[in-house]
Amino acid sequence: MNRRSVVSRCLAGLVLATALHAAPVRVFTPGELATRAELVVVGRVVELRAERDAAGRPRTLTRLAVAEAWKGALAGDVLTVAQGGGVLGQEAVESAGEVRLAVGDRVVAFLRRGGAGDWIWVARDQGCFAVTEAAGQPLAGNGHWGAPRAPQAGVSPPHQRPLGLGELRRRVEEAAP
């Protein structure tokens, strides 16, 4: 890495650090997400289901057909991710940072066992990366990390640079071998 690149990265990091220091929401790096996760998989949404848990809480279950496991072992090739809230009957439970998916979506899922033993998203929407294609290259991103196309002029904080699927995998495996 040449000196200019180092300086640019440092300055870009300064912008990010400033933002993260003062922002109420703590944005985790992919490595931090991987450390928190028990399971990191790449999969496609095959079913969405809304139901109530034993205490009557609405919850949304997302069934993922898993193509790859980057961290953790999976018994089968399908798993179910639970999340509080959703649309059920004539009511909805809404909150900031919910993960919303549609059948067919391809995602990288950072998962951990929740309080009731279900797989849940790590840090809500921070733990779900959309996988998209740009110029034939798979990119991963969500509202916090990764941009699906080249950034515009100006500083590109690391979290808003395009994040290739391979790069995300490398970061996951580095943090959680």
Partner 1 sequence: MSFRLAVLLVALAGLAREAAAFVVPTDAAGNRRRWWLEPLDPRVPTNAVNRATRAVRFQLSAAGWSATNTAAELNAVRAAFGQWQAVPSIRLRFEEGAPVPGMTDVNPQDGTNAVFWAKNSVFINGGLDDISGLPALTLVRRFDDTLAIAEADITFNGVEFSWFTDLADPTRSRYLLEAIALHEIGHFLGLNHATVGGATMLFSGDPGAGNAQLGLSPDEAAAAQSLYGAAAAAGQFARLRGTVRLGGAAVLGAVVTLEDGAGTVLAGTASGADGSYDLPALPAADHLVRVTPLDPRFASVTLLRGQDLSSTFTSANTAFLPVTNAPVALAAGANVTRDFTLTSGTPLRIVRLLTPSTGLGPTYPTTFKPVRLPADGQPRWIGVFMTNPPAADVRLHVTGPGVSLSAQTNILNAVGSLHLVAARATAATGAPAGLRSLLLTQEGQTAWANGYLEIPPTAPDDNFDGLDDRFQRSYWSPWTTNASAPAADPDGDGFINSREFAGASNPTNRLSATFRILSVSVTTQGARVAAETAAGKPFQLQRRDTVPGAAWEDAGPEIVVPADEHEFLDPAVTNRIMFYRVRLTP
Residues 48-107 that bind partner 1 (CB under 8 A): 52-53, 55-59, 82-85, 87, 90-107
CB 168 within 8 A of CB 137: no
Q: Looking at 7-15, 63-71, 72-80, 166-174, which segment touches partner 1 (CB under 8 A)?
A: 7-15
Round to whole Å and give the CA distance between 134 and 85: 32
User: Is residue 143 within the footprint of partner 1 (CB under 8 A)?
Assistant: yes
Residue 6 makes contact with partner 1 by CB under 8 A? no
Taking CB under 8 A as the binding criterion, the range among 67-75, 156-164, 165-173 that sits at the site for partner 1 is 156-164
d(CA 123, CA 33): 8
Place of tokens 């640019």: 8
* Min separation Cβ 174 and partner 1, Å: 20
Q: 49 φ, ψ to 5°?
A: -140, 135
How far apart CA 123 and CA 101 sit, in angstroms, is 16
* Span near partner 1 by CB under 8 A; candidates 22-30, 63-71, 72-80, 167-175: 22-30
